[in-house]
Structure formats: C-alpha cells, structure tokens
Amino acid sequence: MKLITREVDYAVRALAAVARAGRGLSAAGLAAPAGVPRPVLRKIMQALSRAGITRSSRGRGGGFVLARPAGRISLGDIISAVRGPLKFNDCVFGGALCHNHRTCLLRGRVAAIEKKVMEEVRRVTLADLG
Amino acid sequence: MKLITREVDYAVRALAAVARAGRGLSAAGLAAPAGVPRPVLRKIMQALSRAGITRSSRGRGGGFVLARPAGRISLGDIISAVRGPLKFNDCVFGGALCHNHRTCLLRGRVAAIEKKVMEEVRRVTLADLG
DNA sequence: ACTAAATGATACCAATCTGGTATCATTTAA
DNA sequence: TTAAATGATACCAGATTGGTATCATTTAGT
Ligand code: FES
Ligand code: FES
C-alpha cells in the first residue's frame, strides 16, 4: 500500500522547487529539471492550485507561486490535494447500510490510527522537506 | 488509500469466528455466515496458514485453527499476511538507482510515519476485535 | 491586432492492483 | 472407494493510477 504515490512525490518536489525559486515558475520549467513529463506536472499543479496551495497566473510569463509560506504547507495538505482524503478503512458494507457501523471494533481502531497518521502528516511541512 | 482492504476485513472476521469457535472451522463454514464468496475466503485462509497465523488440517473434517492465542495475533500480522508488508513510500527512482536515497528528507519522514503505523497496528490484537 | 506562452478543463489510454472465479492435485475420515 | 476438505495456480473483470492529447482561455510582448 502506498501513502506517497508517484504524484505526491512529484508534487512535493515541484513545490520545493517553487519555494526555493521565490519567483513564479511555469509547469514546463518545473517538469524538465525534475524529469517529469510536462502534462503530468501540469495536472498536478492544477490540482494544487484548485486546493489553494499554489496561486497560478495565466498567460505568457505566468506560472505558479506558493499561496502561503512553506512552513504552513503540510505534507497532509499536499496528499489531500492530489489524492483526496485518506480512507484507511473501507467498510465492506457501504457505510450507510452497515448495521455494525457504530460498534464495529475494527473500524474504531483503524479510525484512530488513521487520525494519528493524519496528525503526523500534517506536522511535516514543506519547509522541512527543502 | 486503503489500509484495510476488503480482504483484510474478511480475514479479521474469519479469524474472529475461528477464535470464538474454539474448534476447527472449514473455509466453507466460515464463508457462508460472513457472506463472503467461498473461493475468496479459501484464498485468504491459505494465505493466513502460509503466514503461520492459522494451522490447517486437510482432508475430510479438516479446517483451520489459530496457531497461537488470539491475544498474540496482531492486526499487523494479518495485514502482512494478506497484503504483504507496508510500503508507504515508493521512491520514484527504484531504490537501488536513487542517489538521494540516503539523504532524501521526504523518504525519511515517511519512513518514520510508516514505522509508527506499524507499531499501532501491531498493538491491536485479535482479542481486541472479538 | 496578432502571436506566443502559459494555465484551465476534459477526455482518453495503458499499466497495475484488487476482488472474484475456476481447476486440478493431494490429503484424510467415513 | 468416496466425499470433504486444503494446496497451488491460473485466469478474468473492475477500480485506481500514471501518462497522453486536445481545445479553450488568458496575458505579455511585438
Ligand atoms: S463492518 Fe461495517 S463498520 Fe465494521
Ligand atoms: S528520491 Fe529516492 S528516496 Fe527520495
């Protein structure tokens, strides 16, 4: 099971590059040095912008900048942006249908673990990953 | 991302049933009440036996029993048995090739989180999930 | 005004992973 | 001898993920 998929990894590196640069960087400019296919990086950057992690400017000379300081962008933010929220536990019956949902011991335990992971992952910021 | 896949869920429930029963239970006997397709449960039970969590007896009247007390079978054991080891971090370059591997900050952080999860998951035992 | 460089939005394709099915061989109790 | 069980594999279908392709829109420079 992967927590850090390829796309998350790309996203972290791209954001680190933006943080270092200070100025805005285009998707093309980010993709080349990282060895990532341009279209893939564009999709990632679009997701990050939609999530409010970066701000984009369009048109010639445009690109991406961080929407807030690197110390306030967490790994959790990045994961959520490119992969959606964590769902460690996937109750076999679909949530609404499940009778045990309240009392299910496994679910409770796993939810607690998931919460801890979420905390850990939100504690690591982009500034730590430079 | 799922930590508890459907198969892990099935495995936990089947093992809980075996624990409650005390005597050996066949895959067929386990599958029916849980509403799991028999062949799927068989595959799972085979994996658990290969991992040494259950002991199987073949032939007529055979089935599965726990190989050790429920309190000493952890959720981590079960996950490892049916899904293989956790690999939160999937370095984009293949480990051996990667130059940064030693110093990569992301990898280090994620490895630490993975370790914590592993600890948590090994702390929960089958006895807790009855 | 025009063009080139950039993002936004989508739709699509291929590879991998997961859940589920099917078979055949082997063991064992009745 | 037969029926009930596991062991081992191979296979198939759906979901997820990584990657590609297009077209529309915005903007700076000429
Ligand atoms: S079975 Fe539905 S939550 Fe555990
Ligand atoms: S890039 Fe290889 S370990 Fe981080």
* A22 located within any domain: yes
Does the structure show a pLDDT above 90 at A14? Answer: yes
Distances (CA, A) of A65 to A20, A39, A42, A78, B7: 11, 18, 14, 15, 43
Among chain A residues, CA nearest to B12: A106
CATH number, position A91:
1.10.10.10
Q: Which residues of chain B have pLDDT under 70?
A: 94-97
Helix or strand or coil: residue B35?
A: coil
pLDDT, tens digit, for every residue of B41-79? 999 999 999 999 999 999 999 999 999 999 999 999 999
Give dist(CA B130, CA A92) in Å, integer: 17
Mean pLDDT for A111-129 is 95
- Does residue B26 come out as left (phi exceeding 0), alpha (psi in the -120 to 50 range) or beta? beta
pLDDT, tens digit, for every residue of A22-36? 889 999 999 998 889
* B45 located within any domain: yes
Nearest-10 crossing angle of helices A27-34, A6-21? 110
Q: Tell me how many domains chain A contains.
A: 1
Tell me the shortest Cα–Cα distance from B113 to chain A, in angstroms: 7
* B1 located within any domain: no
pLDDT attached to residue B95: 60
Give nearest nucleotide to B7 (CA–C1'): C19
* A1 located within any domain: no
- Domain residues for the domain of B106 are 6-129
Out of B12, B120, B128, whose CB is closest to A113?
A: B120
Whether B9 and A105 lie within 8 Å, measured CB to CB: no
